[in-house]
Structure 1
């Protein structure tokens, strides 16, 4: 699953009430938020195993209770679609009838289209064959259709998630604008008078979806740290986010160093002491996929010359 897909899944889970209030306020106002809502990932993958097996789908299934009806609960099915797919409406219908068959509960289906194709927003599946027909309609939303100004003024924090997703598409080829936008939006997020966990969830999404070069990332963080020195009220939120980001990067670096060491040990075990030049070339190899390839090659190569010939170092 891609980085953006994971970001969407995580932010929907961490900010689900805000998500529902933004996209489906009519439903959200009837939900009994005093009762615990539940993400039914296991159950969803049972009726849609292709979602568990494929990296193409961003889908969530949530069980919520309504204010009316005491213990009455319904299902909310959410799909975030980031690319054009002519079969998407059929998929929505297929999931709907599988859910209806399994749970026999009312279902609300929401499709959020986050791709760059403005005209792509299918909202129904139709079928007609020799006098037999059906039409299944679901709620469809296009990220690019929302106005920047309205999103910026919206007090619901999920509006800033939508704004970040929108701008990540619109200015993806203009890094200077991405730098200005990311700095402005992260500053706004840090100022928000919302819970700390909510702010951290928002920061994580924005940081991941608005991608910058390492140098530009450093400039953004330095600017935020300079503002920190002015004792702004959101310092604790920024510190916690920066700490989490640093820990994640440290873990990633640790994994890379461990993989580098495994490659070196495999070569030394099979072929004896290796030249410092080759050792250094392996140690500067940073990407995880490349290191995995080197480890497989180190275990299979007939000799050191064969390893070097195919390693691409």
Structure 2
């Protein structure tokens, strides 16, 4: 199974940006006034790069911050999290830097976290000298592999990104060994429970770990069973594991019920169509088409009904437009909404499609 690093990094950087800077770029963190709000400008960054093929990347962010030196001018932090070696990476950093400056006419500080597995790839500058003219961008980097030898120490540090770094490195180390990954993920989960952190912080960080350290379904179920037992012993229901397990069981039952109803409806419809079309050929074709259509309709209907119940339990009565949307949605879109529901705090988050 392939690992998904993009989504968890987007979430954790957005929610814990000051800690990100403190862990990976402490010198820059020390110069920023964190008593003032920092603002993410991701849509503006996307617009600046929309007209150019600048290559794939794990994550890019543009954040407006204020410094502690009393200067009223705000500074734009251009951040890249790069997950693989890219020969054009330093040039891309340069392109983004000057495009952001050209757009805002404010100082731009570019920096990069390199999470690839090549210890020696460390791009830090791009530029040229021609005919007496010098153009140069030097940017700081943090290298994830520099923490590979201190993973046990990472798991015991208080900064959230120490734990995220440990999860990322352990996911890389266990890419081809799901059993070792389950053991590592279980250890990190227990360490997370031991932290004296607020509930939402623990939930957010577990979601990131869960995303990064993906497991096959059987091993994931085994891990979740252990988490449920841990929650019962410690009387600390931090995670939504029971809800997630219950939702999966409910979806499975709903699909089974929909399948059964679909078969019954399909057989009846198929028989009717078959009789009308003729004895032998009509019966065969009618049954086949009716069964297929009935199965599809039954599965979709069962999924829609189950998702409606889950939404009502969390968000209250559903408006008429939402009910109509659930009624008309195809099966693949219902499945996507059911996945979104696991971590959604609002109805809008459930119905997002990106």
TM-score by length of 2: 0.67
Matched, 1:120 2:113: no
Higher relative contact order (Cα pairs below 8 Å, separated by 6+ residues): 1
Q: 1:78 aligns to what?
A: 79
- 1:193 counterpart = 2:196: yes
Give the gaps of 5 or more residues in structure 2. 271-284, 304-330, 334-354
Mapped partners of 2:102, 2:217: distance in 1: 49
CA gap 1:133/1:189 in 2 versus in 1, 3 angstroms: same
* Residue in structure 2 matched with residue 144 of structure 1 by the alignment: 145
Does 2:210 match 1:207?
yes
- Helix, strand or coil at the partner of 1:74: strand
Question: Based on CA coordinates, which of the two structures has the bigger radius of gyration?
Answer: 2
CA distance in 2, matches of 1:283, 1:53: 45
Query: 1:45 touches 1:51 (CA, 8 Å); kept in 2?
Result: no
Q: Provide the rounded CA distance (Å) in 1 between the counterparts of 2:198 and 2:290.
A: 55
Q: 1:181 to 1:94 in 2, by over 3 A?
A: same
Does 2:34 match 1:33?
yes
Q: In structure 2, what is the Cα distance between the partners aligned to 1:238 and 1:165? A: 20
Could you tell me which runs of 5 or more consecutive residues in structure 1 were left unpaired when the two chains were aligned.
Answer: 293-313
SS of structure 2 residue aligned to 1:230: helix
Aligned pair 1:19/2:43, yes or no? Answer: no
Residue pairs, 1:57-136, within 5 angstroms: 57-69=58-70, 71-136=72-137
Aligned residue in 2 for 1:276: 291
**Worse-matched range after superposition: 48-57 or 189-198:** 48-57
Q: Does the alignment pair 1:9 with 2:10?
A: yes
Runs of 4+ in 1 over 4 A off after TM superposition: 50-57, 244-255, 277-286
Task: Kindly indicate whether the alpha-carbon contact (under 8 Å) linking 2:231 and 2:237 is maintained by their aligned counterparts in 1.
Answer: no
**1:134 deviation in Å?**
2.9
Task: Using the TM superposition, give the Cα deviation of residue 219 of structure 1 relative to its aligned residue in structure 2, in angstroms.
Answer: 0.8
TM-score using structure 1 length: 0.75
Cα separation, 2, equivalents of 1:49 and 1:252: 41
Distance 1:47 1:163, change over 3 A: same
Aligned-CA RMSD value: 3.9
